[in-house]
């Protein structure tokens, strides 16, 4: 089951770049993975860069991982979603989510992949009680 995905990690500060590095340290370099931060570029400039990536790749699916639902990076992903029909947005990006995504990419149908990634990202959030 092969499909082409353009994968964007869009976050505040340097989170996207750190998540890219960490996931690639674990799994190796990933194809069509683009980290973007709102630290230096405006949303219109970022939208232009992302659009160029999409036009270059012409992917079957586009996925935008963002850090905060409702924030500026979320709004950028929503702008991209209005422009292209095949865009999925997942907020609350974390390392377990990305490891699940890249491990399962092209192994299961895309619709199942999205559900699994959200579930696995949630599973990565745990609370351990301290000793009393």
What ranges do the domains of the chain cover?
Answer: 5-108
35's enclosing H/E stretch is strand 33-37
Q: How many CB atoms lie within 10 A of CB 80?
A: 20
Q: Quick one: angle between helices 95-104 and 110-123, nearest 10?
A: 150
The DSSP call for residue 14 is: T
What kind of fold does domain 5-108 have according to CATH?
A: Rossmann fold (3.40.50)
pLDDT in the model for residue 50: 98
115 burial type by CB count under 10 A (0-12 exposed, 13-18 middle, 19+ buried): exposed
SS3 content of the chain, % helix, strand, coil (to 5): 50, 15, 35
pTM score of the predicted model: 0.95
pLDDT tens sequence for the chain (132 residues): 789 999 999 999 999 999 999 999 999 999 999 999 999 899 999 999 999 999 999 999 999 999 999 999 999 999 999 999 999 999 999 999 999 999 999 999 999 999 999 999 999 999 999 876
> 13-23, pLDDT tens digit by residue?
999 999 999 99
């Amino acid at each position: 089951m092969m499909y082409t995905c353009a994968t964007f990690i869009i976050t505040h500060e340097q989170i996207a770049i750190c998540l890219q590095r960490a996931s690639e340290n674990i799994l190796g370099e990933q194809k069509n993975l683009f980290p973007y931060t709102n630290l230096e570029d405006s949303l219109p400039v970022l939208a232009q860069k992302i659009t160029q990536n999409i036009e270059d790749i012409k992917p079957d699916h586009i996925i935008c991982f963002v850090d905060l639902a409702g924030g500026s990076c979320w709004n950028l992903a929503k702008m991209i979603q209005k422009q292209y029909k095949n865009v999925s947005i997942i907020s609350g990006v974390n390392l377990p989510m990305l490891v699940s995504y890249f491990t399962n990419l092209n192994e299961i149908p895309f619709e199942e992949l999205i559900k699994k990634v959200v579930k696995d990202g949630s599973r990565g959030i745990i609370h351990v009680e301290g000793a009393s």
